[in-house]
Structure 1
C-alpha cells in the first residue's frame, strides 16, 4: 500500500496549484488502495470536486459510507456533497432515513426542507420546515424557506407568526440566521405590496450579513481593469461558426436576478439539452491557470503564451467535469455567475459556443438583489453603493465583450422574454442552431432540481408580475442611482 499520508498531502498540494494530472494520479492511487480513511474520505471527495472529478468524488463518498457508523455531522456533510455531485434524489432518500434515526435533530429536517424545495416538492418542504420550527423556532433559514415557497396574502398567518418570534430572533447571536429571518419578513411584506416595510427589513437583513461578509471593491475593480487592459489580442477575427452539442455548451451571462434562472429553465426543457446551472465550470477547469486565485489578479493569468499552453487542458477539464456531472449525451447550459469574468477564456477554449446576454431593467434588478438573501454569498449585495459598483463593473465588461465577440453573443431583454416568450425563444434557438420546441414554454412543469435563489419563481408559468417594481421604490434606491456609472433606463 502506498504512503497514504504523503498521497493526501500531494493531493491537497496538487489541487491548490491547479495540477489536475497530479491530482488525478493521487485520487487514482487512493481509490485503488481504498485505505480506511473514515471521515477523511469526505475531504478526498472535496478535493476531487475542486479538480472537476465528479466520478472520483462519488467513489470517495461511497467509501466513506462503508467504513462503519458515522457521526451525525459527518453524515450531513456527506448528504450535502451527494447533492453537489448531482445525486439529489439519493441524498434526499438518505436524509429521510437519517431523520428517522435522529427525530430530534432539526438540522436534518432543514436539509430535507431545502432539498424538497429544490425538487419542487412544495408541500413536503413546508411540512419539514414546520418540523424544524418545532425544535428550533428562531431558525431564520427555515423561516426563509417558508416565505420563499409560498406567496403571503392578507389572510395568511405567516406574518403574524414571524412578528411574534421577531424579538427572540433579534436576541440570538447568529448573524446569518438573523439575516435570513429579516429577508423572510422582507419577502412577506413584498408579497403584501408594503414596499416601505419590505425595504426596511431588507436593510436589516443586509446589515446582519455585512457583519460577516465583506466586498473587496477596490480589489475587484482592479482585477477587472487589468483584464480589460490586457485583452487587446482577444478579438473575434471572423464571424463565429456557432454550434451546440455535448462538447460545445451554451453560456448565459447576466446579473443575479436578471432572468438567468428563468432562461436556463426554459432552455433545459428542450429535448437536446440535458441539464445545467451555476456549476462554475470555467472556474474549476482553469485552476491550472489561476492557481485558485481571482481571475485578473495575476499577470500570468492573462499572458497569451501561457493561455495557449493551457487552453486544451482547460477545455478537457471543463468537459470532463460537465460530462461527469450531467452526462455526456446532451447539451449543457452554463449560467455560472462568474461567466462574465471568464468570457475571454470561454471564447478561447469554446470558440463555437453561443453566448446569451440577458439584461433586465436596472432598478428592478437592484431591488431584487437587495431584498434577496443569496445562499452563495454575494457580498456586494449588502450595500446599495457596492451593488452599484459591482453592476458598473459587470456592465463595463459586457460592453467590452460585445465589441470583441459580437457574432458569438445574443442580447435578450428580460421584459421581452416574459411578454413574448415564444417569439424570443424561437430567435434564441435559431441563434444556437436548435429547433424550437413548445416544451420550452412548459418549463415550470420540469422535475429537475433548481439550486438558485429563483427556485420558487421557475416553478410557475411565465408571468409579467416582476416588471416595474424598482420604479415603485426608486426613492429608496437613490444610493445606487448616485453611484451607478451607466443609465438606469437603458434596459427599460
Structure 2
C-alpha cells in the first residue's frame, strides 16, 4: 500500500511538471495492479485529465464512485466527467444514485447538467428541488437565474434572503449577487441590475484567484510572442508536412465563438467544436512564452523543428483520446488560442484561423456581467477588461499582418443578420459546400458548457446587439 501511494504521489508530481511519458507509465502500472488507493484514485484521474489522457481518466474512475450510498464520491466522479465534456457519462453516473439517497447537491448538479443539455424544463424542476432544502445555495440561484425562467414568486424569495446570504462565505454570496443582477435584468430594471453587478464583481475581486490577471505580465507575454514571431519567423522558418485543415476559432469571451462553432459543426464534414484546451497540453512541458532565446530575441531553429515534431505527435494523440481521428476540419475554440497562432500556422500550414469580432461595448459588458466558472480574473474589473481586450487586439493585429488568407474575420453582427452570406463565404474558405442544416444548429442535443448554453438553443437573432452598458 505504501509503495503504491509513493508511486501515485510521484505520478501527480509528473503531471504538474507536464511530464507525460513517465506519468502514463506509472498510472498504467497502478491500474494494471489494481492498486488499493481508495479515494486517491480521484486525484490520479484529475491529474490524467490535466494532461488530456482521457483513457486513463476513465480507467482511474472505475475504482471510485461504485458505492451508490456514497453520494459525495459519485458526484465528484460525475463532476470530473462533466469537466471533460462527457456530460452524458456524468448524467449516467448521477442516475446510479437511488432516489432516496439524492440530496440537494445531487439535485443541483443534475439541474446544471440538464441545462447544459438544453433540457430547461427538467433543469428548472431539479433546481427547484435543490432550493426547497437549500435556499441559501448561491450557485443554485445563479444556475436558476441563468435559465431565464424565474417567476416573480421565486424572485421575491431571493430578495428576502439578502441579509442571510451576506453572512455566508464570499463565493456563495458572490453568486447570489450575480443571480440578483441577472433577475433584475430579466425584469428590465437596469439600474438595480447594474448595482448588483457592481456589488458582485467587487466581491469577486476580493476572492483570491489561483491565476490572477496581472496587466504587466500579460503585456510582457504579448510582447514576447510578437517578438518571437516576427518577419524572420514567418519568412524563413519551415512548415511541417501536415495536410490537415484544422479550424481554429479565435475571439474574446462573449464574442460569438460558441455560436460560430455550433454553426460550423452542424456541417456534415466538420467536427469538434468545444474548447479542447489541447495546445498547451501538446506543447507541454514547454510553454509558449518559453520558446525564446533571451540573447538573440528569437526562436532557435533547431528547437522550433523539434517542437513542431513533438507538438504534432502529441496533438494527434490527444485528439485520438477524444475519439477524433485527425485534426482535419476539427474545430477548436479554446480561449488561449490567440497565443499559439504563429506556431500553429507552421505546424498546420493549411489551418484556417477564424477571428470573431463583435461590437466591443457589447462583448465587454457581457464579460462583466457573467460569473465565469473558470475564474477569468480580468472579467471582474472594467479597467482590466479594457486591458485584456487591448492586448488581445494588439496580438490579433500582428497575426493578421503575417497570416494572409489563412486569417478570416467574421463579424458577429453580420453573422446573425446575414448568416447565409457569411457562412457561404466561410465555407468557400474551408473548401466545403454550404449546408442548410448549419442554420439548424440550435436543434442539437449536444451539451453546451459555456455561458452561451441558453442562447445557442435558439435560432439566430439580434437580441444581444446593442445591449452593452459598459
Q: Quick check: 73-82 or 257-266, which moved more?
A: 73-82
Please say if residues 357 and 411 of structure 2, whose CA atoms lie closer than 8 Å, have aligned partners that are also in contact: yes
Query: 2-side partners of 1:123 and 1:289: how far apart?
Result: 46
Q: Corresponding residue for 1:57?
A: 57
Please say if residues 242 and 354 of structure 1, whose CA atoms lie closer than 8 Å, have aligned partners that are also in contact: no
Secondary structure of 2:433's counterpart equals coil
Please say if residues 180 and 373 of structure 1, whose CA atoms lie closer than 8 Å, have aligned partners that are also in contact: yes
Q: Corresponding residue for 2:156?
A: 160
Counterpart of 1:456 (choices 448, 454, 457) is: 454
Give, in angstroms, the shift of residue 101 of structure 1: 4.6
Q: Corresponding residue for 1:253?
A: 250
Secondary structure of 2:272's counterpart equals strand
Give, in angstroms, the shift of residue 73 of structure 1: 2.8
Counterpart of 1:416 (choices 409, 414, 417) is: 414
The two structures have a TM-score, normalised by structure 1, of 0.87
Secondary structure of 1:288's counterpart equals coil
Give, in angstroms, the shift of residue 70 of structure 1: 7.5
Query: 1-side partners of 2:101 and 2:134: how far apart?
Result: 15
Query: 1-side partners of 2:222 and 2:18: how far apart?
Result: 22
Give, in angstroms, the shift of residue 243 of structure 1: 9.9
Please say if residues 79 and 91 of structure 1, whose CA atoms lie closer than 8 Å, have aligned partners that are also in contact: yes
Please say if residues 289 and 307 of structure 1, whose CA atoms lie closer than 8 Å, have aligned partners that are also in contact: no
Q: Corresponding residue for 1:484?
A: none
Give, in angstroms, the shift of residue 438 of structure 1: 0.9
Counterpart of 2:430 (choices 425, 429, 432) is: 432
- In the alignment, structure 1 residue 32 sits paired with structure 2 residue 28: no
Give, in angstroms, the shift of residue 219 of structure 1: 1.6
Q: Corresponding residue for 1:176?
A: 171
- In the alignment, structure 1 residue 108 sits paired with structure 2 residue 106: yes
Q: Corresponding residue for 1:485?
A: none
Give, in angstroms, the shift of residue 157 of structure 1: 3.4
Give, in angstroms, the shift of residue 59 of structure 1: 1.2
**What do you get for the CA RMSD once the two structures are aligned?**
2.6
Give, in angstroms, the shift of residue 260 of structure 1: 0.6
Change (3 A) 1:166 1:228: same
Please say if residues 52 and 318 of structure 1, whose CA atoms lie closer than 8 Å, have aligned partners that are also in contact: no
Counterpart of 2:189 (choices 187, 194, 197) is: 194
Give, in angstroms, the shift of residue 326 of structure 1: 4.3
1:270-349 alignment, distance < 5 Å: 270-290=267-287, 295-296=288-289, 299=292, 303-304=299-300, 305-328=302-325, 331-349=329-347
Give, in angstroms, the shift of residue 241 of structure 1: 12
Query: 1-side partners of 2:6 and 2:373: how far apart?
Result: 35
Change (3 A) 1:455 1:236: farther
Give, in angstroms, the shift of residue 300 of structure 1: 6.1
Secondary structure of 2:331's counterpart equals strand
Query: 1-side partners of 2:379 and 2:317: how far apart?
Result: 33
Q: Which string of whole-angstrom CA distances, capped at 9 and with x for unpartnered residues, describes residues 278-313 of structure 1? A: 1211122111212xxxx4267469733333212222
Secondary structure of 1:234's counterpart equals helix
Query: 2-side partners of 1:49 and 1:416: how far apart?
Result: 38
Please say if residues 265 and 272 of structure 2, whose CA atoms lie closer than 8 Å, have aligned partners that are also in contact: yes
Secondary structure of 1:333's counterpart equals strand
Q: Which string of whole-angstrom CA distances, capped at 9 and with x for unpartnered residues, describes residues 136-189 of structure 1? A: 11212111111111256xx743432321222221222x2222222221222222
Q: Corresponding residue for 2:19?
A: 19
Change (3 A) 1:267 1:95: same
Q: Quick check: 448-457 or 10-19, which moved more?
A: 10-19
The two structures have a TM-score, normalised by structure 2, of 0.91
Q: Corresponding residue for 1:222?
A: 220
In the alignment, structure 2 segments of 5+ residues that lack a partner are none
Please say if residues 251 and 355 of structure 1, whose CA atoms lie closer than 8 Å, have aligned partners that are also in contact: yes
Secondary structure of 1:423's counterpart equals helix
Please say if residues 243 and 353 of structure 1, whose CA atoms lie closer than 8 Å, have aligned partners that are also in contact: no
Please say if residues 256 and 369 of structure 1, whose CA atoms lie closer than 8 Å, have aligned partners that are also in contact: yes
Query: 1-side partners of 2:448 and 2:465: how far apart?
Result: 23
Change (3 A) 1:242 1:180: farther
Change (3 A) 1:467 1:242: farther
1:325-404 alignment, distance < 5 Å: 325-328=322-325, 331-404=329-402
Secondary structure of 1:157's counterpart equals helix
